[in-house]
Amino acid sequence: MAGPDPGYDRVVGRAHASRSEVIAPHGMAATSQPLATQIALDILKAGGSAVDAAIAANAALGLMEPTGSGIGGDLFAIVWDAEKKELVGLNASGRAPQAMTLEYFQTNGIDTIPRYGPLPVSVPGAVDGWFELHGRYGRLSMREILAPAIAYARDGFPVSEVIAHYFKSNESRISQYPGFKETYMPNGHVPRKGEMFRNPRLAKTYEAIAEKGRDEFYKGSIARSIDAYMAEQGGLLSYDDLAAHKSEWITPVSTNYRGWEVYELPPNGQGIAALQILNLLEGYDIAAMGFGSAQYVHTFVEAKKLAFEDRAKYYADMDFVNVPVETLISKKYAAERRKLIDPNEASQELPAGDAPLQDGDTIYLTVADADGNMVSLIQSNYRGMGSGMTPGELGFVLQDRAELFALDADHANVVAGGKRPFHTIIPAFVMKDGEPLMSFGVMGGAMQPQGHAQIIVNIVDFGMNLQEAGDAARINHKGSSQPTGTMMTTGGVVHLENGFSKATREALQLMGHVLGASDGSFGGYQAIMWDKEQGVYYGASEVRKDGQAAGY
């Protein structure tokens, strides 16, 4: 890329970059917690695969960053298999309990699924996801893989700054539920920045999983503890629901954006919204608009609105509804939809709403090994620490994903027993000329597909490097139609980070956009890029989080 513009504060690169990219020849890991990144590297150095390292890091994050992850939640992954030269996806999201029916909510006079408590709990899929991934791509034993997280759970680790902040916000929401204080407030308060925190309960749970396998979680003592706890709390999740769970291997879908083949997973997640946004943007000369310009922001927001309108109408569990994925991500469809975008005025009549998809704390991590294998993995409880349901002596919180079901009988995402809810968490991957190029993700509720599209645009159109693309100021439009069936008729609110100029903001307001605060809900990014010519990996980590990219 060209040299720095006059006035840049850094010796090289763009002024907004927090640091340079990390470059290494043998392996790379990028996670939202430095200790988890180091664990992943240790696993790679011990002969483990990229998947082994990803599982180890995910287990560590379930301990160290329970404010965004844990074995009470779900998991999705995209894996590049270097030996077979194939890209595969794993949907390890859990289903609604069989007793969770529309009739149940209607009979009990419940018109909105609660955010917290026993009712929004769906089957946690993460552990089964670990074992599915390990069964195909693992080299080390699960005992070796989980050992670092077990040691930190028993001996303790220092809580980092961002995680401490989210611990505090979760305390005010869910600390009243049985088991939470015993697990996460042993000293009478949630862990604080720099404080050594131990979770011996989770250490025992991890040890049981390592020794006895995934069935210990879904059919053994852990499942029975969850069943008993949920029955006591009046929840719907049962032992039979856990015992019936299984993950699904799926084929990622893609669109080509100016020569980059961008891959996402099909619904029940929202990944294809990123592909729809990119298809719409491809019809414009984005590079000529310039990063940070009002015209670029306007075009991006209008494309996002159109994609999210489809997201609300169509995205759901494809075992229950026929989602027209091929049509939605086609160039022809985008060309027709693009005609609805006015280049000078914000749309005000698209269906929109203030549903709960804006508040999804998550962890994203990516690992690459010396053999060229790469894994893009995302995992979450939803709403930070999930439902608040903290069963028995197990040391983790159960997710509240079922909150995202609709209670409208005519909606694609209507609740049903055994159905997977609409999901916000999405991993991403890029291929170019038939070769793996980039594994990345941007965590954060409905910000995720917006973030995916912005990262690609930043690199492809604006010429940023891997770290600069993540550090650049982001756009987060809130207020589109949501998969819960909630709708309004408004143009929504455009939230811009502080890197956007006053002139851009004023021009957007003149176009009819409503601007909101720079409220911090701009996601969290990790990425790895493969340089085939030099045989090295580039790594980048989110400047807004506690994370780290590191290689060896």
Which residues belong to the active site?
Answer: 362
* H or E element, residue 29: strand 28-31
Q: Do 112 and 59 contact (CB within 8 A), yes or no?
A: no
In sequence order, what DSSP letters do the residues of 303-362 get, joined into one string? HHHHHHHHHHHH-S-TTTS---HHHHT-HHHHHHHHTT--TTS----SEE---GGG---E
CA atoms of 408 and 168, how far apart (whole Å): 35
Q: Identify the DSSP state of 189.
A: S
Burial state string for 307-321 with b = 16 or more CB within 10 A and e = fewer than 16: bbbbbbbbbbbbeeb
- Non-local CB neighbours of 415 within 8 Å, separated by 6+ positions: 96, 100, 101, 102, 105, 113, 402, 405, 406, 407, 421
Residue whose pair of structure tokens reads 């499942």 in the numeric block: 223
Structure tokens at 443: 């965590």
Contact 22, 538 (CB under 8 A): yes
Packed helices 142-155 and 126-137: angle between N→C axes, nearest 10 degrees: 140
> Of how many residues is the chain composed?
552
Do 515 and 508 meet the contact criterion of CB atoms below 8 Å apart? yes
Secondary structure of residue 279 in the 3-state scheme: helix
Measuring CA to CA, how many Å separate 523 from each of 5, 50, 362, 509?
28, 24, 9, 24
Quote the CA–CA distance of 146 and 124 in Å, as a whole number: 18
CB 354 within 8 A of CB 479: yes
**Separation of alpha carbons 378 and 78, rounded Å:** 9
H helices within 175-213, ranges in order?
A: 180-184, 200-212
- The DSSP output letter for 387 is T
Asked whether 64 and 47 are in contact (CB, 8 A), the reply is no
Closest to 513 in 3D by CA, of 397, 399, 344, 369: 344
Buried b (16+ CB within 10 A) or exposed e, 252-263: bbbbebeebbbb
Distance of CA 190 to the CA centre of its chain: 24
Contact in structure between 121 and 95 (CB atoms under 8 Å): no
**Under 8 Å CB-to-CB from 117, ≥6 apart: which residues?**
177, 233, 387, 388, 389
What is the C-alpha separation between 171 and 190, in angstroms, rounded? 7
DSSP 404: G
